[in-house]
Chains A and B, each alone.
Chain A
Amino acid sequence: MTRKVVVVGAGVVGAACAFHAASAGLDVTVTDRGPVGAGTTSRGEGNVLLSDKEPGPELALARLSRTLWDEAGQELGPDTLELEAKGGLVVASGAENLAALQEFAARQEAAGVRVERVDRVRDLEPHLAPDIPGGVHYPQDAQVQPVLAAAALLRAALRRGARFHPGEVAGAVTGRDGRVTGVRTAAGDVLPADAVVNAAGTWGGEVGRRLGAPVEVLPRRGFVLVTEPLPPMVRHKVYSADYVANVASSDAGLETSCVVEGTRGGTVLIGASRERVGFDTTMNTAVVARLAAQACRLFPFLRGVHLMRAYRGFRPYCPDHLPVVGPDPRVPGVVHACGHEGAGVGLAPATGALVTAHLLGRPWRGADPAAHTGLLPDRFLTPGGVPQ
């Protein structure tokens, strides 16, 4: 049985893995080359969404995760996570778009998502543009503050006996049978382990390679805009319905469809674009302008509001836009938990529970490995274990 677990990565996903594994009584060491939550977790918006997911493996994980965020909130205190169940409002840009949205929502409802048709969107969001024909309200959509959440989950894991070991993972130590017996850090330390969890986010591809179990995880750049603080004007997470199309798309070019929401601090967040440009960090003013234009179309009052800040990050995505969660058949002991793209914050607790279930060999906190086979790394491998 697995006793000693090393989690590589202290982003929100690694922290959630550590939290659940430590809660299950495993001996957990978390290692990261930087501080908690400083990777992509510090670049995300913290949406915990069901609304943007079509029925399938990701929605199943998201539904579990939504429940587990509530449980984490109860255990750790909702304020430590800034967990807020504010609900999402997806609005249509035209009659055709509205029909597509309603059809999409009906399928989600059949998969267990709570949806409410909204004909008069301004009853929910008084400052929306007057010409919006309608939308769908998703009361389960919520948000957390990603870095605070990661820090709180990690702190709780440490209270439950986990350790934090700063360092960069350089490779795996394997026994004669090819099983992992530990990880080696760049500083030369060896952390003994029966299992290693690859929770390295956007760098999960590289960490997988170092562990002898390569998976393809690619960066997808996103910009987020933050306005000056305002009195509350936007109550929900408000998205245009083409968000739904973008998330599922695999087009190479730029995609933007803005998500607008107010924060506790009074700022309005507008996110996020999607571009496949590798790890290119340069500012793209055209993308920023496009996001601004879309936000102003949803909420005309924003035209007079100042943009105060913009930031960007690199979402980790797998070629099929699903996370890779589960044991790698090539190197016994390696368990992947990465590639969550634009939903890693939302999906973190369920990922942590699912990883723990894989480690225990039995369901854990509602996560049953048998119910999430669509996320296994096997899908990228031929029966002989060779990447397809």
Chain B
Amino acid sequence: MTDPADLIVVGAGPAGLAAAATALAGGLRVVLLDSGTALGGQYWRHPPEHARAAVPTDDLHHGLDRYRALCKALAQHRTSGRLDLRLEHHVWSAVRDGDGFAVHAVDRHEAPRETAVVVRAPRLLVATGAYDRQLPFPGWDLPGVLTIGGLQALLKGGGVAAGSRVALGGTGPFLLPVAAGLAARGVEVVEVCEAAHPRAWLRHPGPLLRNPGKWAEGAGYAAALVRHRVPLRPRAAIVAAEGGERVTAVRIASLAPDGSPRPGTERRVEVDAVGVGWGFAPQLDLLVPLGCALTDGVDGNAVVAVDEGMRTTVPGLYTAGETCGVGGAALAVNEGRLAAASVLADSRATRVPADKHLAALRSAVARQRAFARAMALAHPLPPAWSSWLTDETVVCRCEEVTAGAIRSARADGAHDHRQVKQLTRAGMGWCQGRMCGPAVHCLTARRGAYEPAERLVATPVTLGALADLDEAPAGTTCTADTACTAVTACTAGTTGTVCTQASTDNGETDKECS
């Protein structure tokens, strides 16, 4: 690709893939970046291309036809030079740059070597998805206790089952496909604990009736669980995990309507792995520092505020998929298309989708969003979940901050997770509060949606890669389709869009700062 890109898409999950395909079909030049080794995101996670034959995962997937069609479309545009695909590129910052955006990534395809990469374009679409929302409980930091997203990623991305006797717990329909996937790989799923009661769905029947596809999907998983004799327990939760080197058992309790364990119902179940998931928290790290407005999502998370064309409040910045709230892969695909249609319209592209097509897309998104809202309302966090915690339960694993320490910070007047962080270090460690943030929010604020702390560095990056960025001559650019991995390979002054700086060890020639 020798001409400047029109659009940068970060995230190659269902939303980002669909967005890139639509934008390319409309004639735009696109750079698509993802940290993963393969296209697909969380839903269509695959082993890296070279390992696919050895690790068959097709049977774990749904909607593979659509995935393959999207991949094929992208492959064609790659050949024609209009798509610059950058896998294993971890984006650590996105900033305004003149009238457009500069996206800073590190290329890790030769890990542990990291190469700083800067991509520029007038428009940016962030489709970074979401990650598992965690609630702490005694023993949740034992090896063998994973998130359901993590379990699923191991399975889909590497064909690995995390254990042979697994208990799953949390809330939400996404427990079911994970249970079904594990069972299909011969894992004994001893119990699936769903904190909500299925009756909760009946309070919002409208969206349910208007989304028959979702019904069918759910019914399919339910049938699979029956087939594999996996017991599904409503109104129950994993309230503790036990073990030494590794988890060996969980304690499961029935829940009262407020989510507190019913006295006398606790049972001990032996397991060798646990998966827990309490819905998802949107991955907003690149979006928040750009200043786009957030709004309260129904599931207790702040989500990106968008107009009906998926435009954020920052001109030129679009988003799609789980950054706008959790809603499943089909919604993410449609939002991706819709966002790209807006990009096409806003950049006055010659080939914009027909009005009729757009109207249909908008109504599909509205229908699927309504379903997502009903899903969130039917699967709330149990209000009294914190009654599972003892004062000694670790809430922030990285800094080993306990529930007791957080409660005492709260007594000292801290009323949100940011202040708790200052007083206790909760959220200051390696994960930067991505794991404990929602829980600390619940333990202190008690009201309002969880808004993640602003993270100026979206993913850890070596100081060496950053240092090389400083040492590269300003304004150096190079073309993206040439394998340009060293500063010297960049031709200054071309109108390319990508500038790559390699780690060099003789970069000691920096200009002095006065």
Which A residues form the contact surface with B (CB < 8 A)? 35-38, 42, 93, 147-148, 151, 155, 225, 227-229, 242, 245-246, 255-257, 265, 267, 270, 281-286, 288-290, 292-297, 302-312
Contacts and interface: CB of A to CB of B under 8 A. Distances in A.
B463 A311 contact: no
A385 to B, nearest CB: 38
A310 B412 contact: no
Given A293-B467, A304-B462, A255 B422 contact: no
Contact of A255 (B469, B510, B513): B513
B512 interface: yes
Interface stretch (B168-176, B356-364, B453-461): B453-461
B399 interface: yes
Contact of B457 (A155, A242, A309): A309
B512 A293 contact: no
A256 B456 contact: no
A147 B460 contact: no
Interface in B102-127: 102, 104, 112
B368 interface: no
Contacts of A225: 463
Given A283-B289, A293-B470, A307 B513 contact: no
B95 A283 contact: yes
Interface in B153-208: none
Contact of B462 (A282, A284, A306, A310): A306
Contacts of A289: 466-467, 469-470
A219 B513 CA distance: 21
Chain B interface, >50% SS class: loop
Given A35-B414, A147-B423, A289-B469, A303 B463 contact: yes
12 contacts: A151-B423, A227-B463, A242-B513, A256-B513, A282-B96, A285-B104, A289-B469, A294-B510, A296-B467, A304-B464, A306-B463, A308-B430
B93 interface: yes
A286 to B, nearest CB: 7
Contact of A35 (B419, B430, B456, B514): B419
Interface residues of B, number: 42
A293 B455 CA distance: 21
Interface in B361-417: 399, 412-415
- 5 A-B pairs closest in CB distance: A303-B464, A292-B466, A306-B460, A289-B470, A293-B470
B413 A35 contact: yes
Given A265-B399, A290-B470, A285 B95 contact: yes
Contacts of B418: 38
B422 to A, nearest CB: 4
Contact of B466 (A147, A255, A293): A293
Contact of B470 (A242, A286, A303, A306): A286
Contact of A285 (B467, B469, B513): B469
B508 A297 contact: yes
A162 to B, nearest CB: 14
